[in-house]
Structure formats: C-alpha cells, structure tokens
Structure 1
C-alpha cells in the first residue's frame, strides 16, 4: 500500500468582496501518493492558486484538514517547509538582493553549509539564462528571469514534496527543457511533485497522476491512465482535457 505524501480533506475557502462572496474552493478532497508526479489542472478561476496558497500556509482554509508528508498542516506553523518546496503565483522575491544573494540566503535558511550551497547553486543555475545575471539586483530581472529564479529557489533544498504554480510561464524553449530535466531528475530521486500548469504538453511528459478542479470542486482525482480511460479516443492529454471541458 502506497504512502500518501499529500492528503486534502474537505478543504473550502471563500472570499468576500463588495460584489458578494466567491466560493473559491468547495469541499476539495484528494490524495497524492508518495513518489507521484501529479498535475493540477483547471480553467482560470478554478481554485488552483488558492489551493496552493493554502498548502503553503499563506491562506487559511475556512474548513477542512490537510496532511503533508504524514503530518497535519497547522495554520502558522512552518517547520514542514524544510521538506517542501513552493513556487507560488506571487513570487515574493527580494528586489534589492542579487540573484546569488537570494539563493545563498535561502540555502542558509534551509541549513545547507556554504560549500553545499555553492555547489548546489552552481549546478542548478547552469542551464538557465538567469545564470548570466546572478550578480545583478533582482529588480533588474526580466519576468522570465524572475520565474527561473523562483523555480530554482523551490528546488534548492531538494524537497521531498515540490509544489509549483505555473512554473513554465514565461520560460523560453531552453529554460523549459532545463526545467523539465531538473524535475525528472528530482522525481527519479523519490520526490513527490504537484504542478499546476496550463502547459499540458509539458505536464504530459512529467505526470502520472491528475487532479482536475472546476469551479472550486474536484472533478477528477486519480491516475493519468484512468483519466484517459474516460476518453479512449483522445490522442494527448491536451486533447483529453479539452474534450473533458466540453463534456463537463
């Protein structure tokens, strides 16, 4: 029986505004087995980023229980982040640090020695354009470079669970291939991945599980093979997903 890396049970979250209440998540329940690479799919506004912000302890759910690597997630407690890496929609980079300083600071916070930090940073950044700008202030970075840096920060401490929100956005072809290579390698080392992305062609190369959100509810949670079994004529994940949206 497989161990569960991430378990979400009955998670709900609503937002209030001048126009009323928006139910961003409603009774969201799913599991991600340890060692799986799970794609998190859904149209814009489905609740994907809200869910990831809850997993990162940035937002507090209105209801529900979450277990991360076998431990209950508690609001305001951050010790579990030593074993989890996050890339959020809001990158939250330190504009007046250089890219190198941001990476070195994160490495110290994660407990890497100076020698480990140097070796890890050099290996991670080498295939990416941001490697040419590590000694510049982050405020001078392009949008693509910022996203590369945020992606590398999430991987820096080799987390057991990696949660990424649109990691492929604004990446050029070279950076995309480098990112996928890194994710494949991290997955092969036993890590669990949860990746939200509209780049279904890239998710298809990585994922063996899917969670599909629609209007704040889980519409599918299971293996990629099971998802395709519902749509036997589909030739690709993107084709299957578009067909599912039309039928759903």
Structure 2
C-alpha cells in the first residue's frame, strides 16, 4: 500500500467581513496517496484556492489537521516546504527581476548548487516560450509567459509533491503540451500531483484520482473511473462532471 502524501482531516475555514461570514471550507477530509495524480475540481467559490493557500501555509485554517509528506502542518512553520512545489492563483512574481534571476534566486533558496541550478533552469525552460525571454524583466512578460515561469518555479527543485492552481490558464497549446509532458515525467520519478483546473480535458490526461469540492465540502474523493461510472453514458470526465453538477 502506498504511503500518504497528503492527509486532510476535517479542515474548515470561515472568512469574516462587514457583510457577515462566509464558510469557505467545512470539514474537508481526503487523502492523496504518494505517487498519485490527483485532480481538484469544483465550481468557482467551491473552496479550491482556499484549500491550496492553506496547504501553502498562507492561510490558517479554523479547524482540522493536515499532514504533508508525513509532516503535520503547523501555522508559520515550513518543515516540508523544500519537498513541495506550489503554483498559486496569485503568481507573486518579482517584476523587477529577469526570469533567469527569479529562477536562480529560487534555486538558491532551495539549496541547489549553482552549476546544478544552471543546468536545471536550461533543461526546464527549453520547451517553453519563456526560454527566449529569460534575460528580460518579468514586468515585460505576457500573461502566458508569467504562467510558464510560475509553473517552472514550482518544479525547479524536483519536489515530492507538486500543487498547482489553474496551471494552464493563459498558456498556449504548445506550452500546455510541454507542461503536461513535464508533469508526467516528474510523476514517473515519484512526485505526487495535486492540480486544480477548469481544463477538464487536460486533467483527464494527467490524473487518475479526483477530489470534488462543492460549497466548501468534499462531494467525491476517489479514482476518476469511479466518478465517471456514476454516469455510464458520459464518455469523458467533462461530460461526467457536467452531468454531476446538473444532478445537484
């Protein structure tokens, strides 16, 4: 039996404002086995980005227990961070650095020796358009190149767990294909994938496991094949998901 890369137990998060409170997550519980390729689905407002920000230690949950690669998640502590690669909805790139400088800085923070970092940057960026702009300031990048750079930053240090929030947004077809190839390669090397995306055709190519959130709760967690079997007439993940939404 595979070890568990991610164990989320009864995670809850509520946001408060002058207009009242909103329950973003409610008793969210699921596990992702080590080496799995897991898609995270749900309509807008389902709580996907909130959950990913909690995993990245950028938001503090109100309740619950989370274990990442065997390390209990503790607010403000980052024992597991060098083993996880995150791409968040807010890319948070450093606009007045070049793409190369941003990658080199990240490599330094992750403890990669300079020669290894240079080789890794060259091999990672080669299939992407951003490779032609590595010595330009990031503030000059198109949205697509920004997404490519943020994606590559998440993979730079060969993490054991890769967590991506809408990685294919604004990428062109060639970049998407290169990204999918890279993710498959990292998974073959043992990395676990957790990917939130509205591009269901891409998730179906990448993932074998699925977690579906709706109104802050887990509505399904298990193999994609089991989810699709709920609607035998659906021949794609997208058709099964849309049918599931219509069924309420």
TM-score interval (norm. to shorter): over 0.9
Cα distance between partner residues in 1 of 2:129 and 2:245: 36
Matches within 5 A, 1:19-168: 19-168=19-168
Matched, 1:17 2:48: no
TM-score computed with the length of structure 1 as normaliser: 0.99
Per the TM alignment, residue 50 of structure 1 is displaced from its structure 2 partner at its CA by 0.2
Match of 1:179 in 2: 179
Q: Which runs of 5+ in 2 are unaligned?
A: none
Larger CA deviation: 193-202 vs 141-150: 141-150
User: In the TM superposition, what whole-angstrom CA distance separates every residue of 1:143-168 from its partner, at most 9, and x where no partner exists?
Assistant: 11111100000000010000000000
Give the corresponding residue for 2:217.
Answer: 217
Which segments of 5 or more consecutive residues in structure 1 lack a partner in the other structure? none
TM superposition outliers: structure 1 runs of 4+ over 2 Å? none
Shift of 1:79: 2.5
Question: Aligned-pair RMSD on alpha carbons?
Answer: 0.6
- Any idea what SS the aligned residue of 1:16 has? strand
- TM-score when scaled to structure 2? 0.99
Question: Residues of 2 paired with 1:231 and 1:88: CA distance?
Answer: 32
SS at match of 2:6: strand
Larger CA deviation: 1-10 vs 149-158:
1-10
CA distance in 2: counterparts of 1:99 and 1:237, whole angstroms: 35
CA deviation map 1:4-51 (0-9, x unaligned) = 100000000011112110000000000000000000000000000000
**Distance between the aligned counterparts of 2:219 and 2:150, measured in 1?**
30
1:226 Cα deviation from its structure 2 partner:
1.2
Looking at structure 1, the residues matched to 97 and 2 of structure 2 have their Cα atoms a distance apart, in angstroms, of 42
| C-alpha separation in 2, matches of 1:79 and 1:67 | 11
C-alpha contact 2:3 2:33 (8 A) present in aligned 1: yes
